[in-house]
Amino acid sequence: MELRGGAYHIGGVQASRIAELAGTPVYVYDAVVIGRQAKRLKKAFKGTPTRFMYACKALTNLAVLRHVRSLGLGLDTVSIEEVLIGLKAGYKPEEILFTPNMVPFEEYRQAAKLGVEINIDSIPVLERFGSEYGGSVPVCIRINPHIMAGGNERISTGHIDSKFGISIHQLRHVERVVKTYGLRVDGLHMHTGSDILDTEVFMRAAELLLECAALFPNLRFLDLGSGFKVPYKPEDIATDVEDLGQRLAARIQAFNAERPVPVELWFEPGKFLVSEAGVLLVSASLVKQTTATVFTGVNSGLNHLIRPMLYGSYHGIANISRPEGRKRIYTVVGYICETDTFAWDRQLPEVQEGDVLAFLNAGAYGYSMASNYNSRLRPAEVLVKDGKAVLVRRRESLEDLLATQEEADLETVTAAPIPA
């Protein structure tokens, strides 16, 4: 979102106009920003064969997935539902990586039938997969490197207490399972967490994967996950992907020079691609002054954007109704019957009831983590592409909320009983 000519614009379209036409709350995504981020990654890693698999758990809207695919990116999924959505969006099975965790084995069977790349992160599942499929279906293996990484312990996934991955110290056991069942291992995977600023973390992970790769001569790829940090505050520093690209290119080239089957480098960017592309537009419903604070209440809450409450995440806020007004200090809160505070003591141009506020960096883990808590409805979504704002998900209705519920009279048992 940019301020131009005294008005905020998203992808060249005036933000206030989008709010007027779509109503609030509404998520708005800028296709140009997604394309810019994808182009930056490709340029940074042009020195070695690299594939980028969009981590769609960040944002699974079909229109966004189709746009991401048009940019030449694959898809990283973590549930069989995400796999099916990816296929519906036009992805081919070979363009999809399935990386579940603690799921029923039936999801692995479905994935094998669909023909997507399967990533296994536990020895019991590896054994069961081997007993059912042997070497007929290739697999990737997710390794836990025991590296603490990321800006928050709740988004670090590679440490010793993490539920994700097979411990790097269990590789001898993995070798036995692979040999016993004749498994065809074509990839190794490692993801240490999100918001990783230090490129040295990626280099350490890469070295560990390269050591493991010696055990699997037929590997096609090494997947380093992602975790690239994006700036949330003006003074924030982002991951230097250009530096990382140069360093990894040299290391992978040296590795491939000594190997009969060269490996491709894979990454799974999610937040890096869509975070800065997304804005959540809301309306101020009340300005309330107490003995200690001036609150601005909005027609949204943790049911639409939970990250500030769940992770303590910072999101920039702009008053798009009066961008150049006199600034005052507000605590911005939601309408949920919980403490759903978006921001404490934030300087904003003076807010009046009805003003439209914009939460920035809301493209990743915004709508995808939204809920119907307090029986509130989820918002609409708009994609701005080629200078046009298009509604890509309508706002929910009360009928949507009730659609899956059955009216049952427990006194007369008029509804169909659950079979014994």
**Would you name the residues annotated as active-site residues?**
337
DSSP strand pairing (356-359 vs 278-289): antiparallel
DSSP letters, 63-108, are HHHHHHHHTT-EEEESSHHHHHHHHHTT--GGGEEE--SS--HHHH
Phi, psi dihedrals of residue 9, rounded to the nearest 5°: -125, 145
Rg (CA), the chain: 23
The C-alpha atoms of residue 60 and residue 79 are separated, in whole angstroms, by: 12
Q: Give ∠ CA 230-253-184 in degrees, rounded to 5.
A: 90
Angle at which helices 31-44 and 241-257 cross, to 10°: 40
Three-state DSSP at 314 gives coil
Q: Give yes or no for a cis peptide into 49 (omega within 30° of 0).
A: no
Closest-CA residue to 173 (of 214, 215, 217)? 215
| Residue 257 CA to its chain's centroid (Å) | 34
Helices then strands, counting H and E runs in the chain, come out as: 12, 21
The CB density around residue 171, as the number of other CB atoms within 10 Å, is: 15
- Identify whether the C-beta of residue 299 lies closer than 8 Å to the C-beta of residue 285: yes
Q: Are 305 and 340 within 8 A, CB to CB?
A: no
Q: Cα separation of 378 and 304, whole Å?
A: 7
Extended beta strands in 334-387, E state: 341-349, 356-359, 380-385
| Helical spans, DSSP H, in 161-317 | 171-181, 199-213, 241-257, 271-274, 307-311
